[in-house]
Amino acid sequence: MDDRTARILGALDPESIDLLLLLLGGDATTQELTAAVSYSQSTVHRRLEGLVDAGLIWRRSGTKHSPNRPWQVAHPAETDAVIQGLLDLADRTESVSATARKDSRALLDRSRVAREAEGQ
């Protein structure tokens, strides 16, 4: 496996997937993401760094150290497809509870609607 693929797969832990699902619904700041999940700000920050390293997200242009610059998914359609594939795989292997998968699917659906409304 090449290094790029390994970095992407390594970045896709449950917390990072939750953050990606939120970002698929629209750009958000670190503070907004932290408020939307039950993880500490340091956990959110570490997961965002991993997603940046994997090339899955980036921040909008602006001042480098501006805390209010929103994060955005680098490739929304492809990221959506990867998460859908992971959820399908989980369904097949029964490795994740049905409730958690249902919640993730609902969030993915809401994210798709938000992207369609924005014209992405």
* 96 vs 33: which has the higher pLDDT: 33
Residues 40-54, mean pLDDT to the nearest whole number: 96
Residues 93-113, mean pLDDT to the nearest whole number: 82
Q: How confident is the model at residue 120 (pLDDT cuts 50, 70, 90)?
A: low
**For the chain, what is the mean pLDDT?**
89
CB of 86 within 8 A of CB of 17? yes
The pTM (predicted TM-score) of the whole model is 0.78
**CB burial readout 23-43, b (16+ within 10 A) else e:** bbbbbbbbeebbeeeebeeee
Q: How far apart are CA 99 and CA 3, in angstroms?
A: 33
With 90 as the cut, is the pLDDT of residue 57 above it?
yes
With 70 as the cut, is the pLDDT of residue 15 above it?
yes
Q: How far apart are CA 16 and CA 55, in angstroms?
A: 13
CATH 1.10.10.10 fits 3-118, yes or no: yes
Other C-beta atoms lying within 10 Å of the C-beta of residue 12: 18
